[in-house]
Amino acid sequence: METGTIILIIVGLYLLVSLLTGIIPALTISSSVSGYVAGDRSMNVFILYFVIGASIFSSFAFLGGPGWAYSRGAAAFYIIAYGVIGIVPLYFFGPRAWRLGKKYGYVTQAELLADRFDSKFLSVMLGALSVVVFIPYLTLQMVGAGYVLNVISEGLIPYWAGAGATYIIVLIYVYFSGVMGVGWSNAFQGMFMMVMAWALGIYLPYVLYGGIGEMFTTIMDAGHEAMLQAPGLTAGGSEWNWWGYSSAVLVSAIGFSVWPHFFMRSFAAKSAKSLRLSVVLYPTFLIFLVPILLIGFSAIVLFPDVVPADSILPYILMQLDLPAIVIGLFCAGALAASMSSGDAILHSAASVGVRDGIRPLLKNPLSDKNERLLIQISVLVIGLIAYLFAVVIDVSIVALLLGSYGGVAQIFPVIFAMFYWRRATKAGALAGLFGGIAVNTLFLMFPEIKPLPMHEGMYGLAANVILLIGISLVTKPDDPERVEKFLKSGASSKVFRGRS
């Protein structure tokens, strides 16, 4: 049997197992919206660990990470830097959100904010923002899947067909199982890609150079010292300045814990204790980025000028004399990285779009059955839109994510104010969020007007905080009873203690 055929069989078997892992949980949850969106609040520490970890480390990490290490060197370390601190806010925000969701029925981030600031418009605005930033994030995952299957088939499988075949599987299990399908498939995919990452990250430097130390020595001797010096290089090959590097780390860290699909896992937890434990354990997931970046560094000297850089992992695999089964397993690991984020993003985008974007605009409330059906239909529509973007764009995987982070980071100040600042008002929250998004978008579209070469999200956050504080202080305070409900969500009252 030919090598290509064996590889594709292994990838096909992996996709089949992923489908079954995602479909079976549909039998264990209720048919309600709460079951579909929040899994009846039943996720234990094991599932939460992989949902939180695998849903963040995606094509961005498994393909974009090696791609940046290969083309931009030390610049790729920003991925580890922001991940280390980005999870911290969820330790404080998450249990508060869980307690409020348990008591009042919230299942999305915007529901919390809309109730705290008594604003349907805020809900709709957040719903729209979430879907807008989710689409490039989902597109990123499809791009990764397309790269993998196109390269390992040596062009036999067109890029568009590889992305389409992979995400038909994702669409099916997300459509039927909702968040629990995402959870169990993420557990399988997360374990699989971690094993593959470590195996390949250690193997490549050894077989190509004789060891990791020898690999870096060879890179230095070949005249690529700049690749090993922070902050690394830009996409054009010039040195990335510290303004750009540090602001990319800060914006990504601020936006990390408030991604709607990430924040929503707070509502799916079995208890506040299990959520906190999952957050504490999460940094261990970051360790798998070490071998991921080693993969990229291993190609700098021996495989120059590979385009696009994000395809370097499958490219290396096809250049080595490895058994077809081994190549198939490693490529399946890359697909696992794509799917483990894509399913979570797709589910959250549809849930947020309907519950926070569409439902507040309707005169008559939707029945539970019709709301779930509308969310499922949205899964198909959003998946199709992201796929159309995936097959026509030509943008770096990491660049796609960096662009999205600037917008989503604008949610952080209003989340913080919701839980910790009594004087925050609806007018201040709306002004801050709208102003931050507007400024971020302005500098994203016209980077040449930036006063300093920082990530556009930093300018958006500065405008956001100034407007949030300034407008809140000059407007009438919100209803004290409503405000206290959110401020006391962190208190260990008897009601909350018994449920956490």
Give the Cα separation of 182 and 324 in Å (integer): 29
Q: 23 pLDDT exceeds 70?
A: yes
pLDDT of residue 393: 67
pLDDT in tens, 271-302: 999 999 988 888 888 888 889 899 999 999 99
pLDDT of residue 434: 93
**HSE-CB of 240 using CA atoms within 13 angstroms:** 27
Hey, how many other C-beta atoms are within 10 angstroms of the C-beta on 341?
27
pLDDT in tens, 168-201: 999 999 999 998 888 888 888 888 888 888 888 9
Q: What is the model's pTM? A: 0.83
pLDDT in tens, 301-347: 999 988 888 778 888 887 887 788 888 888 888 788 788 888 988 99
Are 68 and 309 in contact, with CB atoms under 8 Å apart?
A: yes
- Domain extents in the chain: 3-405
pLDDT in tens, 32-72: 888 898 888 888 888 888 877 766 666 667 777 898 899 99
- One-letter amino acid at 250 equals L
Give the Cα separation of 427 and 409 in Å (integer): 19
pLDDT in tens, 100-145: 999 998 989 999 999 999 999 999 988 888 888 788 778 878 888 8
Q: 491 pLDDT exceeds 70?
A: no
Assigned token pair, 250: 């800060």
Give the pLDDT band of residue 493 (cuts 50, 70, 90).
very low
pLDDT of residue 40: 85
Only one residue has tokens 């990319």, namely 248
pLDDT in tens, 221-245: 999 998 999 898 887 778 889 999 9
Radius of gyration of the chain (CA): 22
Domain boundaries 3-405, corresponding CATH code: 1.20.1730.10
The closest of 346, 458, 444, 454 to 409, measured between CA atoms, is 458
Q: Which residues, in sequence order, are bridge partners of residue 269?
A: 43
Assigned token pair, 319: 């250049």
Give the Cα separation of 159 and 498 in Å (integer): 52
The closest of 473, 383, 381 to 424, measured between CA atoms, is 473
Give the Cα separation of 345 and 347 in Å (integer): 6
Q: Identify the three-state secondary structure at position 371.
A: helix
